[in-house]
Structure 1
Amino acid sequence: MAGPFTHAIRHCFLLLLLAFPARAQLVADWDAAAETAVVFNLDFPGSRELAMFYAEKRHIPKEHVIGLRCSQEDSISRGEFESQLRGPLLQVFEKGHWWNAEPPQPGKPLTGDGAPTPAAASGKVRVLVLMRGVPFQIRRSAQKPRQSEEDEASVDSELAVLGLNNPPVKGGLRNPYFDQQTRFPRAQHTSGLLIVGRLDGPDDTTVRRMIDDAIYAEQTGLLGRAVIDLAQKTGAYQEGEDWLKNSAESYRHAGIPVFVDRSADLLRAGWPLPDTILYFGWYTDHIVGALASPDFHFKRGAIACHLHSFSASTIRSHDKAWAGPLLSRGAAVTFGNVFEPYLALTLHFDIFNKRLLEGFTVGEAAWNATPALSWMNVVLGDPLYRPYGKGIGGKLGEGTDRDYALYQGMALRLAGEPDGHIKTALTEFAEKRQRPRLLELTALLSALQSKLPQAIDLLEHAESTTKDAAELLRLRLYRAEMLRRAEKADAARQLLRETLKDARFKEQGAATAAESLLQDMGG
């Protein structure tokens, strides 16, 4: 008699072709590109060409591509912002009749009249994309302002409230779209607001790659693994830890395998993180550790963010802060703060990931997860990028993509079953097809559930099914880490010593991670 596991295996190929239902698809007919305007800097070399490239790729109307003369510096004064960006853009919007609703009148709430706007494309503009070359910082004017009354801001967040009458200069403005459980066209109290994204980065080549990768991932599906890097912070910082833990749970329910680093330090240099499509962590001021390793590169279409007060204080650098370096290492999207934002007013990772998995665009999900406008935040990447707009999953593909697709299809198929059923079904299939990576992904699921003995056994089993040196080294590293977590330090040290003596791993970059882990454990 065929049990639930056999039934799941038999049908997993079919299930991978089915879209995971999501409430966000209630307005799937929204043609966001038709309601997008693109702004470039006429005086910044390459800015025009990038704008035209993006508009062509996304089929954005030519009349929605706007060239403005503005500073070539990253940072501008409040006066320059008003004269070079806000004022000219208001004129363009009013001349083109681009507002979806009349901006609020004096005396009415700054958040609009509360009426929902139409979902169908209307020739109006709801999305604003700023190209590389447009300044991103508005400098502080006030001297020693009171807390939460600072007047510095990101250009992007100020333009998000372009349609509001007299938005505040001091402090932030409550975002009425924050955590609404609907996509932007159907949102309440959002008259006069814009979804703002920025296609910017260390160089033009990076920006073009970000655009291409987003479109590629939409077409093929975003398949791979997620990485969550906890910092074990408590007290006033507990909120950020909770966002990360909740994000890991969202991935689990979506069938996305996730590795959670539970040490206070950043992921150690050389730690293998293959096929990373989602990364969220904190809290250092510049890129170090595994993501800074020469061999590390994100998978196409990846979304990555490292939370820090000044993560986007500089954007056009390959090695400073976090935003530019993450993009340089292949991420298609990142987020950051151009000045100190206060933790509670930064992008809430858990809300962002929930909305993204429901089918929102990156721009919608990011601003839905941001409590304050007229503040410090930036969204770096194509705001129209919608990796899960067709549901969670992707084409079955070949090679490693097949393993991720099989894992995801099985996890979604057995979502209502006990977790043990999912792991049994995955293990049976992996053994039958001799797929060590599928065993590895199942081990990550056990580790996420704090079932460390299961994870250790699965990783050891995976080692017995592969002869690939890089894969074998990775499996041993992960097994040593699980042994350490399970308070089996002697066994972990012995495994690491044997690994470092093995000639097959001498030239592997991840060997540095084995040495580091062994050193941390006292050799």
Structure 2
Amino acid sequence: MNTRYLAALACALLIGALTPAARAITEDQVLLLYNSQNADSLAVRNMYVALYPGVRQFDFNDATIPTQFCTRFEYNSKIRLPLLNFINGVSAPFQDISSDVVVFLTTRGLPTRINGGAEFSLATSFASVESELTLIQQDLEVAGNTALPFRYNGVIDNPYHLNNTVPVTNFTRANIKQPKNFTIVGPTGGEHWYITNLTSGDFYLTCRLDAQPYGTTTALQNIQALLNRSQHLVVSKCMVQCLFDEYQPGANQLDDDDLPPRFPLRDDFEKATQFLTNQGYAVTHDETTNFITGPELPDNRPILVLGSYGENHDIAPGAENAPGDGEYLDTYTFDPAAIFVSFESFNAHDIAGQSGSDHEQVTDFIARGGSFTVGHVAEPFTVFVADAEYLARALYLNGRTFAEAAWIATPALSITNVPIGDPLATVTVVDTFLADVVENGTVDVDDLNAILSNWQVNVGVGDRLDVANNDGVINVDDLNVILAAWQISCP
């Protein structure tokens, strides 16, 4: 049985009957960034405009822009300056749209990593292009102090972090061009930036469209598939499961770190488990030496949320290494609306032209059918890894767009994180368990018999037996839904 197909069908069956969650961000609040001198970038631009004809666009039109990584000088001169002039009305068409734009969307073919120094120090000057663009209106070249020589050194506190109940468009953007007050806080060796008057409306959200080849499909084909499925993402709670896999307690668990005063302690995987369990999802939270692969899960339902230590699972004494060499995602099947967060420093190195150092790559997750992830183009430090709990809260509970969810979940700005996914994508969550035809709480032989005893009968669209909710005729579509959910129970 092709379980990947059946799982996708089971989710897709609801699409015709449901309307996606309302978007807080509109098409014309997204500025699509591309380089027409790069074939991949132009191709992705064409894909996105075909689906969202109302988006704003900016073409760098520069054959000299690097495609994977750049220096800070190249970022400032070839990316930041021309884009800043465009949105501020300094260059053609001389219209100030600085407060109208909410999201910058970058494309495959544009660089994603800004190279720097001191990568493994909290004074690092490495960053992702996407993270640096959030503060494009601020001058990050201003000098700091000995600990943080410039504003681009280290990280900057994100005021939108954990604010999952408020749409970003609720915040005024009238002051986005106003110079802000940067101050250095934190203990010696842990200094970081805090902008005292920065609000959630004073910076730009960013996302990137990218993927890797997978099997016989190309990177561009996988980006197109991402965009196609992102148009209608519907989750039935009983048809999915979640996995949080970390090593044993007492071994400095990676998702428990903090950096006072701006980044308090959060046990992310534990909190995500509590939230999703309370919402009615099936959750496996493993804190043993075992690395949990797909075949070790309780059943074959696709994964909705995967939080993992990945190739770092074996750094605790006696803990098992992930299978393969950055290939553990191959063991899972993902729901189309799935989230992936991993505590792996280099999980977006592939799109930055760097070695992944055996870490799984977030763009592989996109190629394997997931839709929402935040990766790292250089060392992110564990405290700044995106929060799985708040990605899930924002997307599955509060109806936020992915652009909002990504930055609600990301603790800092001017960092190495890169959100990958459609910024306008939203998720509709339903409690209805359509495969349980006889409504006894479990998909079993009674449901199968109900389908088979009415085989080829035209019961009409919307009838309880038309579980595929597509044509009103009881046929193989309805049978496949039953088989995909076999023996699954829903309270």
Please list the CA deviations of residues 119-162 of structure 1 after superposition, one character each: whole Å capped at 9, or x if unmatched. Answer: xxxxx11011101111110001x4x5893211111111001111
Within the alignment, does 1:139 sit opposite 2:115 as a pair? yes
Partner of 1:54: 48
Structure-2 change in CA distance of 1:33 and 1:394 (3 Å): farther
Partner of 1:98: 97
Partner of 1:323: 362
Structure 2, unmatched stretches of 5+, are: 1-16, 90-94, 142-150, 173-198, 213-218, 258-265, 314-320, 449-481
Partner of 2:57: 64
Distance 1:434 1:73 in 2: 56
Partner of 1:198: 208
Within the alignment, does 1:276 sit opposite 2:303 as a pair? yes
Structure-2 change in CA distance of 1:336 and 1:293 (3 Å): closer
Summarize the alignment of residues 113-128 of structure 1 with structure 2, pairs less than 5 Å apart. 124-128=100-104
Partner of 1:502: none
Structure 1 residue matching 2:340: 3-state secondary structure: strand
Structure-2 change in CA distance of 1:253 and 1:19 (3 Å): farther
The normalised TM-score by structure 1 is 0.62
Structure 1, unmatched stretches of 5+, are: 1-16, 101-123, 407-424, 437-467, 476-523
Deviation at 1:89, TM superposition (A): 0.6
Question: Does the 8 Å contact 2:60/2:79 carry over to 1?
Answer: no
Distance 1:19 1:209 in 2: 20
What code does the residue aligned with 1:216 have?
H
Partner of 1:212: 228
Distance 2:238 2:51 in 1: 19
Distance 1:345 1:238 in 2: 10
Question: Does the 8 Å contact 1:175/1:372 carry over to 2?
Answer: yes
Question: Does the 8 Å contact 2:131/2:413 carry over to 1?
Answer: yes
What code does the residue aligned with 2:28 have?
A
Distance 1:471 1:57 in 2: 32
Distance 1:352 1:470 in 2: 27
Deviation at 1:385, TM superposition (A): 1.2
Please list the CA deviations of residues 453-494 of structure 1 after superposition, one character each: whole Å capped at 9, or x if unmatched. Answer: xxxxxxxxxxxxxxx99999x99xxxxxxxxxxxxxxxxxxx
Partner of 2:32: 38
Structure 2 residue matching 1:284: 3-state secondary structure: helix
Summarize the alignment of residues 73-472 of structure 1 with structure 2, pairs less than 5 Å apart. 73-95=67-89, 96-100=95-99, 124-140=100-116, 142=117, 144=118, 147-166=121-140, 168-180=151-163, 181-187=165-171, 189-202=199-212, 203-217=219-233, 224-234=240-250, 235=252, 237=254, 239=256, 242-268=267-293, 270-271=295-296, 273-284=300-311, 288-289=322-323, 292=328, 296-315=332-351, 321-356=360-395, 357-388=397-428, 392-393=429-430, 402=435, 428-430=440-442, 434=446
Structure 1 residue matching 2:442: 3-state secondary structure: helix
Please list the CA deviations of residues 411-463 of structure 1 after superposition, one character each: whole Å capped at 9, or x if unmatched. Answer: xxxxxxxxxxxxxx98x532887469xxxxxxxxxxxxxxxxxxxxxxxxxxx
What code does the residue aligned with 2:301 have?
P
The normalised TM-score by structure 2 is 0.65
Question: Does the 8 Å contact 2:105/2:206 carry over to 1?
Answer: yes
Deviation at 1:175, TM superposition (A): 1.0
Give the number of the structure whose residues are more often helix, by fraction: 1
Structure 1 residue matching 2:334: 3-state secondary structure: coil
Distance 2:483 2:433 in 1: 26
Question: Does the 8 Å contact 2:111/2:352 carry over to 1?
Answer: no
Give the number of the structure whose residues are more often strand, by fraction: 2
What code does the residue aligned with 2:170 have?
R
Please list the CA deviations of residues 206-240 of structure 1 after superposition, one character each: whole Å capped at 9, or x if unmatched. Answer: 11111111113159999522222222253363616
Structure-2 change in CA distance of 1:257 and 1:161 (3 Å): same
Structure 2 residue matching 1:259: 3-state secondary structure: strand
Of 277-286 and 302-311, more deviation after overlay is shown by 277-286
Distance 1:279 1:146 in 2: 26
Deviation at 1:309, TM superposition (A): 1.6
Question: Does the 8 Å contact 1:310/1:340 carry over to 2?
Answer: yes
Which structure exhibits the higher relative contact order, with contacts defined as CA atoms closer than 8 Å and separated by 6 or more residues? 2
Distance 2:221 2:238 in 1: 22
Structure 2 residue matching 1:178: 3-state secondary structure: coil
RMSD: 3.7
What code does the residue aligned with 2:282 have?
P
Distance 1:42 1:215 in 2: 25
